[in-house]
A and B are shown apart, each in its own frame.
Chain A
Amino acid sequence: MEEKKNLITVNIDGHDLEVAPGTNMVEAAAMLGKEIPHYCYHPKLSIAGNCRMCLVELGMPGRDRATGEAMLNEDGTPKIMWMPGPAIGCGTKASPGIHIKTDSPKALESREAVTEFLLVNHPLDCPICDQAGECTLQEFSSTHGRGYSRFIEEKNVKPKRTRLGPRVTLDDERCVLCSRCVRFSEEIAKDDVLGFTDRGSYTTLTCFPGKELANNYSLNTVDICPVGALTSTDFRFKMRVWFLKDSNSIDFETSVGANTVVSAREGKIYRIKPRRNDEVNDTWMTDSGRDLYKLVESEDRLTNCSIDGAEASAQDAIAKASELLKSAQGVAVVGSGLCSVEEQFALKAIAKSVEAKGVYLVARYGESDGILMSTDRNPNVRGALMTGLIDGLPEEELGDLGSKIDSGEVSTILVVKEDLVAAGLSEAQLKKITIVYLGAHKNATSGKASALLAGLTQFEKSGTVINQQFRIQKFHRVIPGPGGTIEDLYALASIQANISEDSFPSTVGSVWKQLRVGGTPLAGVSFKSLSDQGQLLDGSAFENLPFREGESLHFEPKREVVVAE
């Protein structure tokens, strides 16, 4: 209610609207479902006001100069003094009584004018432009343009394929000089490498001498480029965007859990872009996260299940795995922070059924960049904590497991996604044990598995992960897995059913029927109704754990924890 008091009433095209102080007119109009077209304005960047597309008519309640009193119309309503020239919507902040007209003849004429100006030196090469189909200039030209050209002069010629960095290629003729990319580099990526050279219509975007756009956020400039000027060198000329089907997903690189959209066509992924989540990643993501789809068709991809090295059907491999785990004395479970919450829940059930001698996760740490790469490079350690799979933070090395192998306490290990060798176990230790492996990629451990279950990548299955803020977020299947693979959750559920001789839910939805029952930290969450923006969970039960996290865009580590490090 306190906040309500501070709201400011603005009037847009005759409709009164209450907005928070500081709201600009582009955002205010959007609340009414009115689009004020714009190029340079971006909600997460500073206001440049250079494209002039969002020009609107602006008026303020008049005040008598002599008395300072409000001027009134005959009917007692405030008299609005309209400014002679139009004003930019993006740079006009809400103030009491402000009036704007977004669809008056003057406003529409301004848009026509700006659209014409933007097109006079534009190459109009939409047929060969990657942006076609998702190009703001294309859309606004059709909505706000006049539909004919009055320009008969020669167009300016500019460089068509400038390499700005390893991942970004610039077509300068298409650039509308909105400066979004320049502001992004300076304000968000903190890597001030872009600028303009030359003047007037010959102004050219370029990197500063001796520098290149090579930071791990460079591809965000491609995302925010409203036209086809900045293109992804990886995606360029690969696929028409209107053929792509988008699915919401999560970046699995780190515990930040940046929200993403993965675009695919006919079972093949073409690109990953960030999805706006103002609580997590705003509208950004890393370049490295966009490369993860390449794991789907990587050379080390497992495409067949096997038993003792011989190709086998998934059913046979599951049966073999179940048998090995059931009959063994001394089973340990090595789960993964790359698993979904649902898979970790199934793993926990298995661990209980086999009376596991130890349950482990492998920690991964890297340097935090303060933006979207946190220190914790596992996307879902908190999922393992909240499902009860583990009760302490994982180590980078499985030393404890090693001693249990040496002592003979552990003879069989169920490994999901991880590589025991990389996690510090020796070849000799591996020889002593029987391995059941579930994962999408080959590694030293999978090669020694008695039962090998070829699983799926994150893009081939659905599920949830819990990020550094204890925000549970869901990801969706984008493409089907290759033939010969088996869905991880289905495999784990089948193993658990075989061992316990009781049914176990094998789909994400049915797992959640068990997960959401009262008393657990996940109570009340439902996969189906979980918003695409995720949901914050109560992580207070774990607040004393010394999580290793750096600061990121919307996350600040607890001070005590930092000291504890």
Chain B
Amino acid sequence: MAVHPKEHRVILKHADEPGFTPDIDCYMKHGGYDMLKKAVTMEKQDICDEVKKSQLRGRGGAGFPAGVKWSFVDRKSGKPVYMVCNCDESEPGTFKDRQIVHKDPHQLIEGIMISCFATDCAKAFIYIREEMPKGAEALDQAIREAKEKNFVGDDVLGSGYSCDIVVHRGAAAYICGEETGLIESLEGKRANPRIKPPYFPAVLGLYMCPTIVNNVETLCNVKHILEMGADAFANIGRANNTGTRIWCVSGGVKRPGYYEVAGITLGELIYDICGGPKDGRTIKAVIPGGSSMKILKNGERFTGKNRDGTAYDWGIEDIPLDYDGIAAAGSMSGSGGMMVLDDSIDIPVALANLMTFYSHESCGQCTPCREGSLWLKKITTRMVHGESRPEDIDLMKSVADQIEGRTICAFGFAVAWPVQSYIKKFEEEFREFAERHSKSDVDRTAAKELACNH
């Protein structure tokens, strides 16, 4: 497919090029593993410093600076340090890591090996979700090829450093994307996220050893930081939001898909690159970073003060498409899974769909999330089935407020934020929908279908 001129492809540079294949020969023809060859001649700390200097932030969801994360690792314990690549990509609306793994797996392997070398990890694990069987095969194949060429395994490129990569397939639970849940699952247990403190992965991670958990896209970026240098990398995008990001756009746009961009606005992505709403439709709202993020309503004004004291006043299309920009608009860029809701979507139905998903995926470990998510599903289902009561909207908000911030892991936010933000921004629609839908002659089939509640 043709690359849009507004795209800035670094990670996906070769992925969609005609003739680019996922095998090692093709990858090496494109300069593959040159950076690993360079890395093993460098001081480990220098690589870490470069990554820190590049201001690379985690691409998995929370956006934590990767270099800082690496520096947290407990080196005094005497235990081995593990690297875990989070390829569970389970946030609805996100499909970027899949592209990398399927089309350019060696880029990930190289990124992992450079990162492992820099942080002196004893072993690396790629935790790949069950729904990517081909991806797992591609990675296994890539690792085999890389081992043959001595890029992975014992005494990598004669450097004296040894590190193996293990591909571990999950069993299709959303919560396995949460890093401590992932670690539990990797250990062969039920993926119940761990309490923090004390189980911070950097100290007590996989097998109670210090562990670094990084997203696929994050690790790939390490290779490019080495290639272009931290300063050049930091020049891409805005300060504190460096590098490109791959956005996955789905829903009511003409050209949904994945787009690697930097330094553009949300409007440029949706309207210019994705072609705007489908014919005859208007955009109603955007969920910016995966289904758990707070919704942005088209038509609302996003105002506030920048760090330098100047004021901003944005419409939805003006929001800078990066961590800080979307945060300034009151949401989060999350995993980069952008869902565009057009005017054909009833917001209460969308919420019911989400609550069906989240109540199904709650691990059930801690009380507020376990009980609250199912309760919210039951209320939203009732709404879709035309049995809503006027007080349900306040009740839903109250239940969400009771979950938020009281759970072991961030899943509680993932349940609460959609409810809170949808109701805050579309309260009138909720009331109107509840009333309209409770009439006896209304056809509820489509709504039930969309909400996955029959």
Whether a CB of chain A sits under 8 angstroms from the CB of B288 is: no
- With A117-B372, A154-B378 as known contacts, state yes or no: A201 contacts B364, CB within 8 Å: yes
In the complex, what residues of B have CB within 8 A of residue A196's CB? 190, 364
Bound complex: CA of A177 vs CA of B367, how far in Å? 8
In the complex, what residues of A have CB within 8 A of residue B365's CB? 50, 177
The digit string for B352-385, where 1 denotes a CB below 8 A from any CB of A, is 0000000111111111101111110011001000
Bound complex: CA of A176 vs CA of B371, how far in Å? 10
Residue of A nearest to B197 (CB): A91
B366:A84 contact, CB within 8 angstroms:
no
Bound complex: CA of A204 vs CA of B187, how far in Å? 22
A153:B379 contact, CB within 8 angstroms:
yes
Whether a CB of chain A sits under 8 angstroms from the CB of B405 is: yes
In the complex, what residues of B have CB within 8 A of residue A110's CB? 406
Whether a CB of chain A sits under 8 angstroms from the CB of B239 is: no
The total of Cβ contacts below 8 Å across the A-B interface reads 97
Chain A CB within 10 A, most for which of B361, B367, B372, B378: B367
Residue of A nearest to B374 (CB): A201
Bound complex: CA of A199 vs CA of B357, how far in Å? 12
In the complex, what residues of A have CB within 8 A of residue B372's CB? 117
A150:B359 contact, CB within 8 angstroms:
no
A113:B364 contact, CB within 8 angstroms:
no
Whether a CB of chain A sits under 8 angstroms from the CB of B101 is: no
Bound complex: CA of A409 vs CA of B395, how far in Å? 89
Whether a CB of chain A sits under 8 angstroms from the CB of B195 is: yes
Whether a CB of chain A sits under 8 angstroms from the CB of B402 is: yes
Chain A CB within 10 A, most for which of B359, B375, B379, B406: B406
Bound complex: CA of A92 vs CA of B198, how far in Å? 9
A residues contacting the other copy or chain, number (CB 8 A): 39
- With A85-B406, A91-B197 as known contacts, state yes or no: A117 contacts B371, CB within 8 Å: yes
Whether a CB of chain B sits under 8 angstroms from the CB of A114 is: yes
Whether a CB of chain B sits under 8 angstroms from the CB of A237 is: no
The digit string for A465-487, where 1 denotes a CB below 8 A from any CB of B, is 00000000000000000000000
Whether a CB of chain A sits under 8 angstroms from the CB of B182 is: no
Residue of B nearest to A49 (CB): B195
Q: How far is the CB of B15 from chain A (nearest CB, A)?
A: 34
B residues contacting the other copy or chain, number (CB 8 A): 34
In the complex, what residues of B have CB within 8 A of residue A86's CB? 405-406
In the complex, what residues of B have CB within 8 A of residue A93's CB? 197
In the complex, what residues of B have CB within 8 A of residue A113's CB? 368, 402-403, 406
- With A49-B195, A195-B190 as known contacts, state yes or no: A200 contacts B368, CB within 8 Å: no
Q: How far is the CB of A119 from chain B (nearest CB, A)?
A: 9
A114:B379 contact, CB within 8 angstroms:
no
Whether a CB of chain B sits under 8 angstroms from the CB of A425 is: no
B374:A200 contact, CB within 8 angstroms:
yes
A47:B195 contact, CB within 8 angstroms:
yes
B364:A202 contact, CB within 8 angstroms:
yes
Chain B CB within 10 A, most for which of A93, A117, A153: A117
The digit string for A503-529, where 1 denotes a CB below 8 A from any CB of B, is 000000000000000000000000000
Bound complex: CA of A91 vs CA of B190, how far in Å? 21
A177:B375 contact, CB within 8 angstroms:
no
Residue of B nearest to A152 (CB): B389
In the complex, what residues of A have CB within 8 A of residue B173's CB? 199
A446-466, CB < 8 A from B: none
B195:A117 contact, CB within 8 angstroms:
no
- With A86-B406, A113-B406, A195-B190 as known contacts, state yes or no: A203 contacts B370, CB within 8 Å: yes
The digit string for A320-355, where 1 denotes a CB below 8 A from any CB of B, is 000000000000000000000000000000000000
A203:B364 contact, CB within 8 angstroms:
yes
In the complex, what residues of B have CB within 8 A of residue A53's CB? 367
Bound complex: CA of A251 vs CA of B192, how far in Å? 38
The digit string for A37-68, where 1 denotes a CB below 8 A from any CB of B, is 00000000001111111010000000000000
Whether a CB of chain B sits under 8 angstroms from the CB of A423 is: no
Whether a CB of chain B sits under 8 angstroms from the CB of A244 is: no
B366:A153 contact, CB within 8 angstroms:
no
Which of B198, B362, B382, B398 is the one whose CB lies under 8 Å from A199? Answer: B362
Q: Known contacts A151-B375, A200-B363, A203-B364; can you find 16 more A-B pairs with CB under 8 A?
A: A48-B195, A50-B366, A52-B366, A52-B407, A85-B406, A86-B406, A93-B197, A116-B402, A117-B367, A121-B371, A152-B389, A153-B378, A177-B364, A199-B173, A199-B361, A201-B364
Binding site for B on A (CB under 8 A): 47-53, 55, 84-86, 88, 91-93, 110, 113-114, 116-118, 120-121, 150-154, 156, 176-177, 195-196, 198-203
28 inter-chain pairs at a CB distance below 8 angstroms, sorted by A residue, are A48-B195, A49-B195, A49-B408, A50-B192, A52-B407, A84-B405, A91-B198, A93-B197, A110-B406, A113-B406, A114-B368, A114-B406, A117-B372, A118-B367, A121-B374, A153-B375, A153-B382, A154-B378, A156-B374, A176-B367, A177-B370, A196-B190, A200-B361, A200-B370, A200-B374, A202-B364, A203-B364, A203-B370
